[in-house]
Chain A
Amino acid sequence: MAEIQLKNVCKRWGSFIGVDNFDLTIADREFLVLLGPSGCGKTTTMRMIAGLEDATDGEIVIGDRVVNDLDPKDRDIAMVFQSYGLYPNMNVYENIRFPLKVRKVDPATHNERVMRAAAMVELEEFLHRKPAELSGGQRQRVALARAIVREPNVFLMDEPLSNLDAKLRVSTRAQIKNLQHELKVTTIYVTHDQIEAMTLADRVVVMKRGVIQQVGTPTEIYDRPANTFVAGFIGSPAMNLMDGTLAGGVFTASNVRIEGLSGPDGPVTLGFRAEDASVSASADGAEISAPVYTMELLGDATMITVRAGGAMVSVKAHKDYRIEIDETVGLSVPAHICHLFHKDTGARLEA
């Protein structure tokens, strides 16, 4: 049982606030991803859980112990670092064995446990090599094996994939997901890559400047972003956001008129996802009608971008769709795919 509770955790350096009032309960065996742009406090939050950074305020509870004053070694956690943190003077076998050795685990079990961990990440043939003789992906797997060899209560992973190339990232991502499922250990994973967050997480925490923006399942975050920051951060391309005014259920902005919305009258921000909208047959009567700014061929789709509502708005069309720049196009944006946000605070406006 390793439920983690973060009770109003804060981290301040002088007057600078790194993490502000972080309050969250992470369920046992959950895969939680902390997501946000660099400098948003996600790594600091993880380091506070690990004990590498002291919390200025608040309480961190792992299982049923308050761990604020415990050393990292007494918190029963394992961590995978962005730079792997392998010991260069030891070979792979000794690296994986190190946690068992310093924790004085019965030496008779070492070999079996190291071999099992190595097998899980397919490292058996590299056990005698030094870290310097391994590729980036192999080093990452050594770091993973070292984390799992001790079967801790909590895994912490700090952007473990960011130093790998794109292809390796996809396969290692799958491996991490599978490992977590197999080991059934509470995992906290820090990343700035929203695709990693979407694919791995049971729940995602989106952070910005030390403040939690939204907590939810990947689908919730994607389908019902809590504010314009989350809407603009999640998804590729990010959600289209247009400024305009809502009056009597009709949203108007330059080149835009969308009917059938429900919300308070006044200035609002309207968002919709590129893949939800479509190109309409004719420019007349379409919700957005504007000259094409650019057309990009993505292979599986064609992306049309126009200027509307003071922003660039992209829509995904069929992959065979072709149009010239500056030609007027009509985009169909029905009311049910639209999200309304407060113009100033950016908070979601519920219907």
Chain B
Amino acid sequence: MAAASARRRPAPLVLLSTVFLILWLLAAAFPFLWTAWGSFKVELDFFSITDWTNALTGEATENTYGRPFTGAGYFGAWIQEDFWRAALNTGLVCFFVVCTSLTIGTLGGYALSRSSHNYVFWLLITALIFRAMPPITLVSGYLPPFFQWNLWGHLPTAIIVLVAINQPFTLWMLHSFFQKIPKDLDESARVDGCTQFEAFRFVIIPVMWPGVITTGLFSFLLAYNDFAVTAMLLNENNRTMVPKIAAFLGTTYTEGNVMFAVAASVSAVIPLFLLVMVFQRQIVSGLTAGAVKG
């Protein structure tokens, strides 16, 4: 009994930590919840100067549409302003960025993790330096040749640049995953009759799946959330979601345009929300992957 009561934490501490947790949760979730709620209102409600509670009750929305909620923002963004095209572009960009960076990353990470040469260390350090630089510094370097060669504005250009920016990170992450797989596994596969590549294909990759998925997720998130590269390198028709939202915000002269941005950002967040829910385990393991080894 004594041991049990000793293990129980004092009531004030429990209360304090619970209150703190709830406050923190509210602070973290509030902006999103507020935006999600407000996306179904008209601009006069959501950005009301007279009374902020209008954003909650939706007075102006009711006056305009006869209901406190309206899908006008979503309709405007997706149909009128072709946000679906931006969503499609984001999908294309993410797909190709993830595929390319994973292909290069798994092959390169495996080779680096199994090599005993000194340059491996320096290669990885260089990769880390490139990863640490703000992407915008790289983009400004890319711009002049892209204009000159008439490559500016196209999706493949943005994909290549995003891969180049992502690659150090994926390489680094996959390398540390591969290092966790004992060399004995490759060696026994090679003795059993595999070439080095067959050992990689039949023995290492099946064991590596969780690491590849985790790295893929991070690569996806980087591509999905990117603003610097896509905003600078894509023309108006090829914009992905994030720069498109920024463009909505930039044209606030027309009433309602800002609501397109609100609706569009809510739409852009939802896939991420689902993704994180489904893959939360892999993401956490990825966050701690480099923590002990690398």
From the candidates B182, B189, B195, B206, name the one contacting A89 in the complex (CB within 8 A): B206
Q: Mark A204-220, 1 if CB is under 8 A from B, else 0.
A: 00000000000000000
Let me know if A336 is at the binding interface, CB within 8 A: no
* A311 CB, min distance to chain B CBs, angstroms: 41
State whether B190 touches A73 (Cβ < 8 A).
Answer: yes
With A81-B184, A83-B184 in contact, do A89 and B192 touch (Cβ < 8 Å)?
Answer: no
Given known pairs A87-B203, A102-B198, A102-B202, the reply for A77 and B193 (CB within 8 Å) is: no
Give bound CA distance, A86 to B203, whole Å.
10
B194 close to chain A: CB less than 8 A:
yes
- Given A83-B182, A102-B202: A72 touches B207 (CB 8 Å cut-off): no
B237 contacts A by Cβ under 8 Å? no
Q: State the interface size on chain A (CB cutoff 8 A).
A: 25
A-B contact pairs, 14 of them (CB 8 A): A50-B187, A50-B191, A52-B190, A52-B191, A71-B190, A72-B191, A73-B190, A78-B191, A81-B188, A87-B189, A98-B192, A102-B202, A103-B192, A156-B191
Contacts of A52 in B (CB 8 A): 187, 190-191
Is A346 part of the contact surface with B, judged by Cβ < 8 Å? no
Set of chain A residues within 8 Å of B19, measured between Cβ atoms:
none
Tell me the complex Cα distance, A109–B198, Å. 22
Q: Would A85 and B184 be within 8 Å (CB), given that A71-B195, A102-B198 are in contact?
A: yes
Cβ of A88 and Cβ of B195 under 8 Å apart? Answer: no
Q: Which of A118-161 contact B (CB under 8 A)?
A: 146, 150, 156
> Is the C-beta of B123 less than 8 angstroms from some C-beta in chain A?
no
Partner of A85 from the list B188, B194, B198, B202 (CB cut-off 8 Å) is B188
Q: A87-B185, A87-B203, A89-B207 are in contact. Are A102 and B191 (CB under 8 A)?
A: no
Q: Is A79 an interface residue (CB 8 A)?
A: yes
A73 and B193 contact, CB distance less than 8 A: yes
Whole-angstrom distance between the Cβ of A41 and the nearest chain B Cβ:
18
The majority secondary structure among interface residues of chain A is: loop
- Partner among B192, B198, B203 whose Cβ is within 8 Å of the Cβ of A146: B192
For the complex formed, measure the closest distance between the CB of B30 and the CB atoms of chain A, giving whole angstroms.
Answer: 44
The chain A residue sitting closest to B208, CB to CB, is A89
Interface digits, A60-74 against B, CB 8 Å rule (1 contact, 0 not)?
000000000001110
Q: A99 is contacted by which of B192, B206, B207 (Cβ under 8 Å)?
A: B192
Cβ contacts under 8 Å, A72 to chain B: 187, 190-191
- Is the CB–CB distance between B193 and A81 below 8 Å? no
**Mask: chain A, 88-100; 1 = CB below 8 Å from B; 0 = not:** 1100000000110
Chain A residues lying within 8 Å of B182, measured Cβ to Cβ, are 83, 85
Contact B193 A85 (CB under 8 A): no
Smallest Cβ distance from B185 to chain A, in angstroms? 6
A79 and B185 alpha carbons, distance in the complex (Å): 12
Q: B207–A88 contact, CB under 8 A?
A: yes
A contact residues around B188 at 8 Å (CB): 79, 81, 85-86, 146
Quote the shortest CB–CB distance from A44 to chain B (angstroms): 13
Residues of chain B lying within 8 A (CB to CB) of residue A89 = 206-207
Q: A79-B187, A156-B191 are in contact. List 8 more A-B contacts (CB 8 A).
A: A52-B187, A72-B190, A73-B194, A85-B185, A98-B192, A102-B193, A102-B194, A103-B192
Q: Which of B147-198 contact A (CB under 8 A)?
A: 182, 184-185, 187-195, 198
Which A residues are in CB contact (< 8 Å) with B187? Answer: 50, 52, 72, 79, 81, 85
Distance of A37 Cα from B192 Cα, bound (Å):
28
Per the bound structure, the CA–CA distance linking A73 and B193 in Å amounts to: 4
Write out the residue numbers on chain B whose beta carbons fall within 8 Å of the beta carbon of A146: 188, 192
Assembled-state Cα–Cα distance A94/B127 (Å): 39
Complex contact A102–B206 (CB within 8 A): no
Quote the shortest CB–CB distance from A197 to chain B (angstroms): 23
Q: Which residues of B contact A83 (CB under 8 A)?
A: 182, 184
Inter-chain contacts of A78 with B (CB < 8 A): 191-192
A73 near B203 with CB under 8 A, answer no
Q: How far is the CB of B190 from chain A (nearest CB, A)?
A: 5
